A and B are shown apart, each in its own frame.
Chain A
């Protein structure tokens, strides 16, 4: 087959590496090569937000990047949120406020919301809704998600 490239990156604090063809999408590299299947593949054209990760701390679509472009970066995926068996405060808020049903959009929703809360630590409901419009959810009607993000905001502010 075609040539492969070496990709070395840090995922959830752990240095990892793999080889893949240059055309491999970052989301497929995470799932297939690094066995981190928490990041979901949805639309593959940047609309649905299910594949959203943190790239050097900023939310980005992992379906709109090649794995080779992630050489040298730091990535946070959904697998990196839980610490020592304890849910991240944002995950806990999603559980308490029914912020998910089927769970397909949830990884992207959580990482998008984390970035939003970093940029706007005390968002209004309108700002939460605008920020979360980057991710499509087809189950919840968004009310529980909005409630969860607003409930998590003061907890995360306190944690900083």
Chain B
């Protein structure tokens, strides 16, 4: 099908975009990379009064490091992230997750801000944001605020961004020394939506684990930070028994729903299996 009729705006600045969002009072949609919104328009699942296309705002596309934090502009394409030397060096977990996002032609257009604001729980970037406990910056008519992943993600396809707020930046802590990472995912076909995905990072300190970070995608209405599983590793180290215990705990921490792709029990099972796989690879890389 074809998109329904809408008012089209392509502002050249963040301030103009926010003013437009405020003017339509919730009846406008932000058009970022369009790789989720355009299908919804074509199917007429979305019928906004207006589209605010933020593709012509150059100040929204950048990757830079500042004092141990990597700041990524919301309109940075997934493809740019995939080939960014800074991301490869400082955020290897984000790079690995990026290769699971759709296909290269999708990543040519898709953006990090769009993926996070769309809040599909099976998407990779919300899980990375959650695992690394990063934050997003939102700009509204009254200025900017930052939101942690737990504050941002409300439920399926729903964030706590106000209708007149634009997600402008994603901030992720750079990978510390001694860190290992892995992103594991199971889908029917490469590039399809994840049935379950796991983002993992561990920091090794000799035989001990000084920090573990785990989050799930696809196992419930929002990405889940698997903190109680992380604590097992931080307490008991990185041996096989601790990894198995953390994986078993991870499976208990998620509240997956059933759908046409997988039952809730299968998603819970996958959460444990993929957590163990991700941890083993992350530990290997941290050697």
- A: residues with CB less than 8 A from B are 2, 5, 21-25, 28, 44-46, 49, 52, 55, 58-61, 63-66, 68-69, 112, 115-116, 119, 130-131, 133-134
Contacts and interface: CB of A to CB of B under 8 A. Distances in A.
29 contacts: A2-B5, A22-B6, A23-B2, A23-B5, A25-B42, A44-B1, A45-B39, A45-B42, A46-B38, A46-B102, A49-B105, A55-B108, A58-B105, A58-B108, A61-B35, A63-B42, A64-B34, A64-B38, A64-B39, A66-B34, A69-B34, A69-B55, A119-B104, A131-B104, A133-B103, A133-B189, A134-B102, A134-B103, A134-B105
Interface string B27-53: 000000011001101110000000101
Most chain-B CB neighbours within 10 Å: which of A5, A61, A64, A115?
A64
Contacts of B2: 23-25, 28, 44
Interface in B1-43: 1-8, 10, 34-35, 38-39, 41-43
B42 to A, nearest CB: 5
Contact of A23 (B3, B34, B104): B3
Interface of B: 1-8, 10, 34-35, 38-39, 41-43, 51, 53, 55, 79, 102-106, 108-109, 189-191
A52 B55 CA distance: 19
A5 B8 contact: yes
A56 B183 CA distance: 30
Given A45-B42, A69-B55, A130-B190, A61 B105 contact: yes
A23 B4 contact: yes
A116 B41 CA distance: 29
Nearest to B37: A64
Contacts of A119: 104
A60 B107 CA distance: 8
Given A21-B5, A66-B38, 4 more contacts: A68-B53, A131-B103, A133-B191, A134-B104
A25 B104 contact: no
Nearest to A111: B105
Contact of B108 (A22, A59, A131): A59
A147 B106 CA distance: 24
Contacts of A49: 103, 105
Most central of B2, B10, B38, B191 by chain A CB within 10 Å: B38
B38 A65 contact: yes
Contacts of A134: 102-106, 191
B44 to A, nearest CB: 11
Nearest to B41: A23
Nearest to A55: B108
B75 to A, nearest CB: 13
A61 B8 contact: no
A115 B39 contact: no
Contacts of A63: 38, 42
A65 B105 contact: no
Nearest to A68: B8
Contacts of B34: 64-66, 69
A131 B34 CA distance: 21
Q: Tell which of B79, B103, B104, B105 has the most Cβ of chain A within 10 Å.
A: B105
Given A23-B3, A23-B4, A69-B55, A44 B104 contact: no
Contacts of A131: 103-104
A59 B2 CA distance: 22
A25, A55, A134: most-surrounded residue (chain B CB, <10 A): A134
Given A46-B38, A64-B109, A116 B104 contact: yes
A155 B105 CA distance: 23
B193 to A, nearest CB: 11
A46 B6 contact: no
